[in-house]
A and B are shown apart, each in its own frame.
Chain A
């Protein structure tokens, strides 16, 4: 069974997932960040592969990616780092990157590597459904990998139903028409959208992300989904306060 699905069987509400950028703030921080996040009680971790041109990301994740690349991070180093924590870390990991990274690395080689790292779930925001259907569905199935689809306030009901049928880990509910990064409080429009999705009674678990940044937005979003992902706000805190203060960021949110 998919590791995230397994997680949902144990806990299906108020889940907190944290996104972080590999190789940030320092080249060797990947394993430390994962260890600290696990200690803090995060439910699952989104492992960000730094990319030169992250189209769906706002300034915070763009900057952390650029810094990580300047630090000298690359996919081979990341896979080595992830293998290091494979034995000790029990918190499920989800890989998030852009399709070109997989394409250039070699699709089969990439899939094999992530499986070797104990990862079975990927988020590729620029992988469109039609390409998934025509090619990647079979590729991922071959390696037992599950792909997470994103839906947005503008995704049609018909399309959401189709995505629901393809989703084995969860559906990533993008909180607003936006790129990643904090937007302040959750608006009434967003609540209407979350309610609409919730009322569709989808078979998939729902995780809300993009613009979730603190206790308040976390709590509100969790009313309409199984949990949320926090990315930019965490990266900002990590850049400012360092790895030692990860717990200080997480605890107030989940307590």
Chain B
């Protein structure tokens, strides 16, 4: 438990850094999601601090990384007058209305998350990919005090490292941070991130749906079997899903208000997505292109183009720091990624699509009722309300799926049952938020609220609009 104080200090620093960035950028995100977003942002920033400390030639240690993080906190609070007024708005009296079923849902969700938290704390790193890759790198980086560690030059491993140690570094750097704190297996960042992620999703569900429905959606999200497993198993995919989906959601929240005031925050989340899985750069590129008409309609051509530019620039920067700077300028060896890419073939694409739907998407053991519920809600919205619902989320859901299929076709090592299965994680939060924002759930929410208030539905509905 000696690692507890460093853990608390790290969380405080991450939180403050996240708040500082959001304040400096004058974030207009809903207050209900600011705290978990700040924590996630701070966690991403700390990994950049690790890279900065490493490149400055300062040995990696808890002290050096924490001092670096403290500098980030100070820098993000440098414009104190701006930051102070933002904090003032943030802490003004909240208007949260908690119901009895909220308490029950919270207890159930907390129990489910706790079990994952305990597993992440107690069990050693388990997945082969992590032991042969990101955690092997993290462990040796902590021993050697540098990311350019001796695993890369060990004759016993020469030519045998494969591509696992070279995965996009976010998860590896989190392992470095948590191992530097003294946690023997690292990993505790996984439950921290899942806690923040579920908090964001719950707050968003409550923003759009009746609290009871929001609670049900939260519980269904927490209980998605495959997703829950990766809240304590060390892999890059859950992390990637958290950052990409929140980036998409933040952009969507801006579009809802027809501005792009949180563009940089969204871009940072997208960049963190590219920092956690290599192929995400293609997913984001395709997603931004596919959603361009919606962006343009919402904020105009100029802002839409600048949005795409900022998001792509941030994503490319994150991608380049690792895949260009580290691979070609720092590390003595690098993976032969080029040989992984095979030519596009319609036949293979068809096979990949068929296997994805047949073996992955249709498997309720992986996703619970997510897929049938999503289809049902979409169908009911179209039939009953003549609307598909939230087009932004729908476009991104479809585009991410398409991008995964293309990646599965182009990369020889991409396996439908593994790579695409875990890539589907990115869709899950978007699908649940899509359901929360659907016309059908909106109608259901209005009816439920009317019933709960003991009034006619129209009265309650009018009151909400008022």
Do A and B actually bind?
no
Q: Report A's interface with B, CB cutoff 8 A.
A: none
Binding site for A on B (CB under 8 A): none
